[in-house]
Structure 1
Amino acid sequence: MIRRFLLERISWILLIAGLQLLALFMAFVDQAVPLTSVLYYTFLSSILVILFLFIRYRKETPFYVALEERDNDLDLTTFPEADSPFEAVIERNVCEQMEQLKQEASRNQILLEQEKDELLSWIHEVKTPLTAMQLIIDRLNDYKLKSQLTFEWMRIHFLLDQQLHQKRIPFIENDLYIEEVNLEPLVFNEIKSLKSWCMQKGIGFDIDLQAEKVLSDAKWLSFILRQLLTNAIKYSGPSEITLASVEQDGRIHLTIQDEGRGIDPRDLPRIFEKGFTSTADHQDKAATGMGLYLTDRIRQALKITFNVDSRLGEGTTFTLVFPKENEFTKLRSM
């Protein structure tokens, strides 16, 4: 700060130094002016200038130091008080702009909340006719038509469900209920919802849940399983998808393995990025690039670790490593 203070006033310092050099030059060329007296004057005035700069430094810099160290937020209570006319100009202009930004941010937040509430309301309203459509589809006798309609109905249902969870994710910490979750009913319920799609593609399941209970939130864990199973089915031909759970080192490992097309090695580091779709099949317009992104956001909140192993043409394996109980205890105590 001292260096910047001196640089800010370098023109004044050079002016004073120039005037003192001018006085010395006049004493040198004019014999009528005593050189000793001018040197004495120059020495005293230099001391006064240094003392003056020191006093001004102590008086002027606290405002700018406080301004530099304050948090980058819109809290006006942390803004330093002005102690000079120029500081008052800075304080007034900055505070007025911050107040305008606060009002604009508040308006935008209200609009976003209204938009989110309207969208969530719309999603819940759309689910009513979807339920009616499912009942109508169930009464159809034409198996082929019934299978096709069920598949399209399921796609709409999952897209709405994805959108619903996407809007809730920013507030997921307020919605978590961590408990012991039984994996078997959770897994079978998700497989049941995908039954018609699996039958259409000739996909079966091999399930071996040696470790049946995990510490998690049932609702959000269901969403993770749904996304991973949906991806496994989507990119697989007639084959089997394996689900297995074991306990290793005090943690539950849940593995979902398919025999699909796999993931390109160059894509692996990016599969959880928002909006990213596979470069191997980039013409797939149905892919939104949101499923794994949302899954990754949720698994972070649930303290679940993802391990992904994939080879092109050989399939993909997702391993979910669940946390120990004490990790959630530490999280609550923070």
Structure 2
Amino acid sequence: MRILGDYLRYHKKAILLFFVCVCIFSTVFFLSRIPLDAVLYGGLLCLIAAGVIAAYDFRKYAVQHRQLQRLTEVIDAQIEDLPEPGNQIDEDYTEIIKELHRQKRMSESRAYVEKKELIDYFTLWAHQIKTPISAMGLLLQKKGAQAGEDGRQMSMELFNIEEYVDTAMSWVRARDISSDLMFEQVELDALIARVLKKYAALFIGRKIRVDFQKTGYTAATDEKWLFIVLGQILSNSLKYTPPGGSIFIWMEEEQLFIRDTGIGIRAEDLPRVFEKGFTGENGRQYSKSTGQGLYLCRLIMEKLSYGIRAESEEGKGTVVILDLRRENFS
């Protein structure tokens, strides 16, 4: 009924003109003393003819409406599928749509090329920057104990720089990792041990204790990307846990728990911690926060068809839960 109402409103001028003409001719026939039966008969014939024409026109209107509706449901509709214009105005609108479609395609093409060039340049830069980072690390190792406390601090900062580069690279690749996924049976304990070894210097330097309860679990996942997720979570825990704190890792019912004794997250910020760029009140106080780490974790876990969530209480630490249950795997 809605389309019928739209059709009537669209043709309201023509309908009004029809009734005005009927009234004029009726008045003329009446003044000319033409018999009423002849007037009514002529009016009825006109009404029937107008109804037939209106029904045919309404059918075309409804078909065109359904065609346009189907086009809106198609993600990438072809411009050739537009209904044939019924008059010059419709043809003008069709030409405008075609021109806008052409300009949109050109803009998308330019944006794609520019984005690809930017990603290619950044990827090249990330690989090139690793060479001086590795060289600086070797120089510091060569000095060994002679480097002293300054050398140890430089090593830590160098490690942080390498972490930022790796995170940025993971961010770029995570946007389209479908072709990079390789699912296999991964021993979770060995993977966690590798992550802990990577951050061992930070645990020791900050005197943070690790309580890792072996899980004995084998996950059907991509080892490289799950390693990145675990690294991001442990990096966050180290960042927001004060010296002398603790980090606990254990598993319950195929869910991996990573809990720290850090500053925690405010209750009002907790629902948004996995949003892109969200840092929260505590994150703004600690300028190290970028709001990208947990969003990257959520993005990767979604690609792996696993779940991730966080629970926290301000001032009492945070626990991040990775849901590795096989029923979530598809």
1:209-248 map, 5 Å: 209-237=214-242, 238-246=244-252, 248=253
SS in 2 for 1:171: coil
Task: Show the counterpart of 1:136.
Answer: 139
1:104-119 map, 5 Å: 104-119=107-122
Aligned Cα root-mean-square deviation (Å) = 1.9
Task: Show the counterpart of 2:204.
Answer: 199
Q: Cα gap change, 1:301/1:136 in structure 2, threshold over 3 Å: closer, same or farther?
A: same
- Judge conservation of contact 1:190–1:222 (CA < 8 Å) in 2: yes
SS in 1 for 2:312: strand
Q: Percent identity?
A: 27
Could you tell which deviates more after superposition, 55-64 or 174-183? 55-64
TM (norm. structure 2) is 0.91
- Judge conservation of contact 2:195–2:230 (CA < 8 Å) in 1: yes
SS in 1 for 2:175: helix
Task: Show the counterpart of 2:100.
Answer: 97
Q: Distance in 2 between matches of 1:173 and 1:150?
A: 35
- Judge conservation of contact 1:147–1:200 (CA < 8 Å) in 2: no
Quote the offset at 1:245 in angstroms.
2.8
- Judge conservation of contact 1:308–1:319 (CA < 8 Å) in 2: yes
The answer to whether residue 177 in structure 2 is matched with residue 176 in structure 1 is no
Quote the offset at 1:283 in angstroms.
2.9
Q: Cα gap change, 1:210/1:190 in structure 2, threshold over 3 Å: closer, same or farther?
A: closer
1:1-334 map, 5 Å: 1-28=3-30, 30=31, 32-70=33-71, 71=74, 73=76, 75-140=78-143, 141-237=146-242, 238-246=244-252, 248=253, 252-324=254-326, 328=329, 331=330
Q: Distance in 2 between matches of 1:135 and 1:306?
A: 37
SS in 2 for 1:227: helix
- Judge conservation of contact 2:273–2:279 (CA < 8 Å) in 1: yes
Quote the offset at 1:273 in angstroms.
0.8
Q: Cα gap change, 1:100/1:176 in structure 2, threshold over 3 Å: closer, same or farther?
A: same
Quote the offset at 1:310 in angstroms.
1.4
TM (norm. structure 1) is 0.90
Letter paired with 1:239: G
Structure 1: 5+ residue stretches without partners: none
Q: Cα gap change, 1:13/1:72 in structure 2, threshold over 3 Å: closer, same or farther?
A: farther
Quote the offset at 1:315 in angstroms.
1.3
Letter paired with 2:310: V
Letter paired with 1:52: I
- Judge conservation of contact 2:188–2:215 (CA < 8 Å) in 1: no
SS in 2 for 1:254: strand
Q: Distance in 2 between matches of 1:179 and 1:312?
A: 38
Letter paired with 1:160: V
SS in 2 for 1:215: strand
Q: Distance in 2 between matches of 1:289 and 1:310?
A: 17
| Aligned residue-pair number | 323
- Judge conservation of contact 1:150–1:196 (CA < 8 Å) in 2: no
Quote the offset at 1:72 in angstroms.
5.2
Structure 1 stretches of at least 4 aligned residues deviating more than 6 Å after TM superposition: none
Q: Cα gap change, 1:307/1:105 in structure 2, threshold over 3 Å: closer, same or farther?
A: closer
Could you tell which deviates more after superposition, 55-64 or 275-284? 55-64
1:230-256: per-residue Cα shift (whole Å, max 9, x none)?
11111112122111234x2xxx22111
